Chains A and B, each alone.
Chain A
């Protein structure tokens, strides 16, 4: 009996050697830190033209009384050409488009294409707000650009058309509806502007 008690007491003093486990843990930490995203990534969901046409058709069925806006923004090297319902904003009377001058000229005329702030994003957002007031149910905008326009300028254009205060995180997760601050948040990327 006494011997068993002594044996138990000896067993109680045994300590697990945690050093190898610690070694593994310390290796795991830098490995996981390296695998983690340093920057926070987000997504801009874009529709190809054929699917957008279908969704537009559905929207038309829902709101037959509302004339479709068909908003299009062309990113050209000299500025934006914005057209709605087949009519370019700012074009001369009687003309559907005016290729000689843009609807919204450059904010920095003469700047390089790689200068991503060369476009007047604030003016484009103001224009989008004007259209949104007239067509509150419209969410789709078709974006096209000249061949040499860099992706960052296209992304910034999408940001302006979506609206400064538009937060889509909850809407995309399916928890909430799209906030009223969002203007044209469903972009279609289309080739053919140049």
Chain B
């Protein structure tokens, strides 16, 4: 059997402990919230490096090739870099020049015969002539010699007859150099 005086002392100690705990809790609650400082300087460094790298790789390409929707650019082992020039996108359904769809192709990939004069695709010729004239003036203002280069971004299934028509039209619009855009493969 335990002594009643001992029990009272234990209870008093317990109460004192609880009171102290409560007081601490109250003090903690009354304290103003400390502002947490997130150090983002190192993160900022990493992000800056990534942005500079991306900007640099974006800026070194002389021509940005953005194939049209559904267009499959041919694959090749060629490794020559793309030189500066004007891209002409020829998908299976249309011919796009200067971000504008110029000619619609039929389901066989042929140009509408009403838009062709011999081998010349008339609407494409008009647009390319305007662009050639503009480029010539820009080159003359810079004191440079104008090199009419066309980058033909064709589809894998583009028919040879359509390709020849596009090349002929570009030639008539005074573009004298041609390059086929391909996706580089190894091996």
Query: Which residues of chain A have a CB within 8 Å of any CB of chain B?
Result: 18-19, 21-22, 25-26, 28-29, 32-33, 35-37, 39-48, 51, 75, 114, 116, 145-152, 154-156, 158-159, 162, 164, 167-169, 172-173, 189, 191
Residues in B with CB closer than 8 Å to A33 are: 54
| Complex Cα gap A192–B159 (Å) | 14
Q: Taking the complex as formed, is B17 at the interface, i.e. its CB lies under 8 A from any CB of chain A? A: no
Contact of B178 among A25, A39, A47 (CB under 8 A): A47
| Complex Cα gap A158–B77 (Å) | 10
Contact B78 A168 (CB under 8 A): yes
Per-residue CB contact flags for chain B residues 8-48 toward chain A (1 = under 8 Å, else 0) read: 00000000000000000000000000000000110110011
Contact of B78 among A39, A43, A48, A51 (CB under 8 A): A43
Contact A148 B44 (CB under 8 A): no
Contact B160 A152 (CB under 8 A): no
Q: Taking the complex as formed, is B167 at the interface, i.e. its CB lies under 8 A from any CB of chain A? A: yes
Q: Is the interface of B mostly helix, strand, loop or mixed?
A: mixed
| Complex Cα gap A181–B38 (Å) | 59
**Segment of B55-63, B98-106, B121-129, B137-145 engaged in the interface with chain A:** B55-63
Residues in B with CB closer than 8 Å to A75 are: 160
Contact A148 B76 (CB under 8 A): no
Contact A43 B157 (CB under 8 A): no
Residues in A with CB closer than 8 Å to B83 are: 43, 45, 172
Contact A43 B44 (CB under 8 A): no
Query: Which residues of chain B have a CB within 8 Å of any CB of chain A?
Result: 40-41, 43-44, 47-48, 50-51, 54-55, 57-58, 61, 64-65, 73-83, 119, 151, 154-161, 163-164, 167-168, 171, 176-184
- If A155-B76, A168-B80 touch, does A43 touch B47 (CB 8 Å cutoff)? no
| Complex Cα gap A152–B61 (Å) | 24
| Complex Cα gap A148–B159 (Å) | 5
- If A36-B57, A155-B180 touch, does A146 touch B160 (CB 8 Å cutoff)? yes
B37 to chain A, nearest CB (A): 8
Contact of B180 among A46, A149, A164, A167 (CB under 8 A): A46
Contact B43 A22 (CB under 8 A): yes
- If A35-B64, A159-B77, A173-B81 touch, does A48 touch B176 (CB 8 Å cutoff)? yes
| Complex Cα gap A145–B167 (Å) | 14
Name 29 A/B residue pairs within 8 A (Cβ), A-sorted. A18-B44, A25-B48, A25-B51, A37-B61, A37-B65, A39-B73, A41-B65, A41-B82, A42-B182, A43-B78, A43-B80, A44-B76, A44-B78, A44-B80, A45-B178, A46-B180, A151-B74, A151-B157, A152-B75, A155-B74, A155-B182, A156-B76, A162-B78, A168-B79, A168-B80, A169-B80, A172-B80, A172-B81, A189-B178
Which of the listed residues A33, A39, A167 has the most CB atoms from chain B within 10 Å of its own CB?
A: A39
Contacts A37-B65, A46-B179, A155-B74 known; list 4 others, CB within 8 Å.
A29-B50, A36-B54, A41-B82, A147-B161
